[in-house]
Structure 1
Amino acid sequence: MARTAEPVRRSRDAAPEQNLVWGSGSLRELPAMTDVLDCRRVLAVASRSADPAVARLPGLLGGRYLGRWSDVPAHVPAHQANLAVGSAQETHADAVLAIGGGSAIGLGKIVSLALRLPLIAVPTTFSGSERTSRYFVTTDRGKETGTSGRVLPRAVLYDPDLVAGLPREVVAGSGIAAVAHCLEVLCHPASEEALASAREGLLLLWDSLASLTGGADDLSTRQDALAGAGLAGHALHELGRPGVVHQICDLLSTRCGQGLLYALFLPLVLRAYGDAADGARAALAELRPGVSAEQAVAEFAVRLGLTAEADPRRAASAVGLGAAELRPLLAELSVAAGDRAEAAVFERLAASC
């Protein structure tokens, strides 16, 4: 069974204001963003999937471009994070440019945090991590998470050209994480800004993700998906804490794909929240009138191609996540919960397995 990670570390570092650049071709604005941040030695952190964007960096940044850290494994292993931090130190970088999905942006956050460098993010998937102050690293004790205003990217460039032609599994796996951000926020007594961002983000993601996984690849749909993901990440940042489903998926993410985990647990977690999920249920009722929230999310996961089974318990058992393993894990999470209400959600979830 996966071991529980250390409790989330929360920092009082103030989050900087983010410069958001939108639109087709916005990667061309990268030089202007480095000027605004007064960056002269920029190290890129980018996985191989970002090769086309990285190939443009020497022309865009000229002598400001130091090169690229390309070893970007999933789950930000501590060993790789240390090597990337060392590389940034050796090259005397004064900024980090993360291009890619959650893994690249997550690694960029660790380098930024360790060396107190400004971070610029160019997302090429739909997880929304570029708008959050949450970071994590995987050690031999599991996935350890924290929050700090210092990891919030100072600038984010949303270029829909960079997400054209994404594989269906990437769209679905990253997008369902952003949907989870929205639904979790709507299950909490959050600020109106957080709740409004979550509702709007969910609306944009619901239609655009289904269209993209269904074969559409037009500019407007890609823009909507990026906008929805950004709003989802911002909502989670404003909430200031990971939700129940995030904590579960963090701990099990080395077992199977994180997108699949969100698809399996979101319906179960919504049910376990009880009356606290009324805000999420109301938002989903506008998208799927006459269908329960739990069923709407389960069917949405099937539509995205994440699962072939609309019953999340049967789907979880099919990938080896049965009650015998989940109940002890959920019991540990309940003990470590930040408050009694959260502990009760874990307890109800364990009882329903």
Structure 2
Amino acid sequence: MTLSGETYFQAMEPKPYVSTGLPFEQACKHHAVESFGASRIYIIVSKTISKTQDFTALWETLGDRVAGVRYGITPHVPGTEVLELARDLASLRADLLVTLGAGSLTDAAKVAVFAAANSAFTLEALDELHARAQPDPAALKGCSIPTINIPTSLSGGEYNPSGGATDFRSHRKTSFQHPTMGAQLVILDPALTVSTPERVWLSSGMRAVDHCVEGLCSTFFRPGEGGGGGGGVDIQAVVEKYLIKGLSLLLPALLVTKQRPEDLDARRDEMLGVIEALRGNKLGVKMGASHGIGHQLGPLGVGHGEISCVMLPSVLRWNREHGDAWVEKRQEKMLEAFWASSTVAETLKRSGLSRETAGAGDAVAAFVAALGLPTCLQDVGIGRERLEGLAESAMTDRDIPTNPVAIRDKEQVLQILEMALERPAVKQ
């Protein structure tokens, strides 16, 4: 049952649902009680938000239903912290998990609920859980504690059934996947996000842009790959429509937010754009080297969104230089979405680009610069001495084999990393 003023819809199949239009604490209490019948709620809140009136409002609204609180998760989700969460959930007999904050909290919640369901309370058990989930998810117990995510960034992790955790003994990040992982409900409140630091908000928006861009350029769209669906549905056309709509919402709204942070309509458009991006990707689209290399930059201290800022332009340029006519065609399709918005087009023109000559990598790089975000690896503290190790780690990532242009050895990854190391000159 929805409340007056609430918009409630299904974002993905089979979950999550989305609630928007209400103050987040009101929506959370309503669904905690009415949708989940929860009486022992565990909250994970970012350390920054925990010091604000926003968190006070949530706790006071939920009252004595709050059974426990975790303050903060270290970026890139250390496995040790996932295990602490899993133990808390089990010992407190939590019947609902609520996250209030950005992407690391979301990932930690997903993996912790999965670990608790399977009594994985050590790093060794967590490693085994990852290994066993890959060949046969049905052999493991599904998540039993429902989750509500209240995001304060645009990372979008709340919409997919996978989560990452990092073993800092090896600095390798592992992805955990299971059909039951992830939130049952996502509550969107644009007003809550105004206090999110500008760089965090805008860079997480670039992560969503990266989902759309690598999605539109994906091998999924090669003839014969994406295929048709039941009833003669053209799945490739459906996915393309989602991803283009995602860009149409995200790109102009991010530029508006850069200029007018208090504009709640723009923030709402960005949040809805994230959903469109992930609706497309959920239908089978594979990511490429921007994500594949980026997963290995995370454990080195680079934020998810900033990874996309510094890697996506160079990946697009490298793919264009080494790809075929099909690669060029897909990048042109992506470019159409950038130039279709008058707000974005004017920004690109002010950067010295023209529609006739600018490539996809140039357009993305100019857009990132217009947002005031880092544009190369050196901007995020990664020097040439790191490239060799990055290339080796990237070759083990699941998204490298699905890059639109085949990457067969680490020398090719090194070529991309060299391109991304320093700020390139903009081609006009």
Verify same fold: TM over 0.5: yes
| Residue in 1 that maps onto 2:155 | 127
Please give the alpha-carbon distance, in whole angstroms, between the structure 1 residues aligned to 2:328 and 2:61: 46
Partner of 1:344: 406
Larger mean Cα displacement after TM superposition, 27-36 or 168-177:
27-36
Between 1:210-219 and 1:134-143, the stretch displaced more is: 210-219
| CA radius of gyration, larger in | 2
Q: How far apart in 1 are the matches of 2:313 and 2:331?
A: 11
Root mean square deviation, CA, Å:
2.7
**Counterpart position of 2:241:** 196
Residue 317 (structure 2) aligns with: 271
Query: Are 1:29 and 2:74 counterparts?
Result: no
TM-superposition CA deviations, 1:217-238 (whole Å, max 9, x none) = 2121111111112322333333
What one-letter code is carried by the residue in structure 2 that aligns with 1:304?
L
Residue in structure 2 matched with residue 68 of structure 1 by the alignment = 69
CA distance in 2, matches of 1:68, 1:158: 21
Equivalents in 1 of 2:175, 2:207: separation in Å? Answer: 16
- Alignment match, 1:312: none
Q: Which runs of 5+ in 2 are unaligned?
A: 1-11, 117-142, 221-225, 227-234, 340-354, 419-428
Contact 1:47 / 1:99 at 8 angstroms: preserved in 2? yes
Partners of 2:54 and 2:72 in 1: CA distance: 16
Structure 2 CA distance, aligned partners of 1:33 and 1:276? 45
Distance in 2 between residues matched to 1:226 and 1:178, nearest whole Å? 10
AA aligned to 1:134 is S
User: CA 1:113–1:15 in structure 2 vs 1: closer, same or farther (change >3 Å)?
Assistant: farther
Higher mean alpha-carbon deviation, 287-296 vs 236-245, is at: 236-245
Specify whether residues 321 and 57 from structure 1 end up closer, same or farther in structure 2 by C-alpha distance, changes over 3 A only. Answer: closer
User: Residues 154 and 246 (structure 1 numbering): CA distance in 2 closer, same or farther, change over 3 Å?
Assistant: same
Contact kept, 8 Å, 2:111 with 2:176, in 1: the verdict is no
2:274 to 225, 229, 233: 229
Q: Distance in 2 between matches of 1:66 and 1:187?
A: 46
Aligned pairs, how many? 334
Taking the TM superposition and a 5 Å limit, the aligned residue runs for 1:164-243 are 164-188=194-218, 189=220, 191-192=235-236, 193-239=238-284, 242-243=287-288
Q: 2:120: which partner in 1?
A: none
CA distance in 2, matches of 1:325, 1:182: 28
Within-5 A mapping of 1:1-353: 16-34=14-32, 35-51=34-50, 52-115=53-116, 116=143, 117-139=145-167, 140-141=169-170, 142-188=172-218, 189=220, 191-192=235-236, 193-239=238-284, 242-258=287-303, 259-273=305-319, 274=323, 275-276=326-327, 278-288=329-339, 289-290=355-356, 291-307=358-374, 315-317=376-378, 321=382, 325-326=386-387, 329-330=390-391, 333-334=394-395, 342=403, 344-345=406-407, 348-352=412-416, 353=418
The change in CA–CA distance for 1:301 and 1:26 in structure 2 (over 3 A counts) is same
Report the secondary structure of 2:176's partner residue.
strand
Q: Report the AA paired with residue 122 of structure 1.
A: I
Conservation of the 8 A alpha-carbon contact between 1:15 and 1:149: no
Calculate the TM-score normalised by the size of structure 2. Answer: 0.70
Which letter maps to 2:369? V
Contact 2:49 2:55 in 1 (8 A): yes
Read off the aligned partner of 2:290 and give its amino acid letter.
V
Instruction: Give the 3 Å change call, closer, same or farther, for CA 276–32 of structure 1 in structure 2.
Output: farther
Structure 1 unaligned blocks of 5 or more: 1-13, 310-314
Relative distance call for 1:49 and 1:277 in structure 2 (3 A) is: farther
SS at match of 1:151: coil
Structure 1 residue 341: Cα displacement? 5.0
Greater relative contact order, per chain length (Cα 8 Å cut-off, separation 6+):
1
| Aligned residue identity for 1:300 | F
CA distance in 2, matches of 1:21, 1:217: 21
> How many Å apart are 1:272 and its aligned residue?
3.4
Which stretch has the larger CA shift, 254-263 or 288-297?
Answer: 254-263
DSSP-derived class of the 1:210 partner: helix
TM-score of the two chains, using structure 1 as the length reference? 0.84
CA contact (8 A) 2:292 2:398 kept: no
Could you tell me whether the CA contact under 8 Å between 1:200 and 1:228 is conserved in 2? yes
Say which SS state the counterpart of residue 88 (structure 2) adopts.
helix
Query: Aligned partners of 2:25 and 2:299: how far apart in 1?
Result: 32
> Can you list the C-alpha shifts for 1:285-316, whole angstroms capped at 9, x where unaligned?
33234432111100111111112x5xxxxx33
* Residues in 2 aligned to 1:346 and 1:153: alpha-carbon distance in whole angstroms: 36
Task: State the identity as a percent.
Answer: 24
